[in-house]
Amino acid sequence: MPERAVKPRSSGRVDPPRIWTAREANARVGELSELLPRLKGWVARLGEVHEEQERLRGFWGRDVLALDQPDHEHKERLDAEWQNLTQRLEEALGALRREGIEVKNLDEGLVDFYGVVDNEVVFLCWQRGESDVAFFHPVTGGYRDRRPIPEPARAAAPAGSHDRL
């Protein structure tokens, strides 16, 4: 079925950057299994940096920005680390989003791929620790709405194939 004929489950417009088959999504599971802990580590470090920045602000007050205060270099290093980690995280998540991959929850390792089941746009759902992408839910739903991907959709040929759902 041509992608332009795909209709969303909801009444809202769904215009994903790409539609994934379960087979294609499963090919990315290994990479995501390695990437998600790294992203989660960056978020954890951002929390630590933020706490230290707040501690400095609490201690120095308005003087936290003064060039002559003893913690100035430390604050500058923290600010640079914050910027670096934020940029890396935004770039990584943005790259995934542009591919039609949505990281829904880093702590739980929940990832959704735009897909098609029964001629409707859905999210093919994977959670870190699962061996493959075996569930889907409506784009307006979430984890609680997960259902097993029907066998015809699990076996669907990769994008561009003439026998696509």
**DSSP result, 134-161:** -EEEETT--GGG-EEPPHHHHTPPPTT-
pLDDT band at 164 (very low <50, low <70, confident <90, very high): very low
Amino acid identity, residue 5? A
Looking at residue 157, its pLDDT comes to 58
Report how far Cα 62 is from the mean position of its chain's Cα atoms.
37
Q: Which of 160, 154, 139, 164 is nearest to 16 (CA)?
A: 139
Q: Where are the domains of the chain?
A: 3-154
Which token pair is 67? Answer: 């060039």
Query: Per-residue pLDDT for 8 more than 50?
Result: no
Amino acid identity, residue 2? P
Which token pair is 148? Answer: 């097993």
Q: Model pTM?
A: 0.77
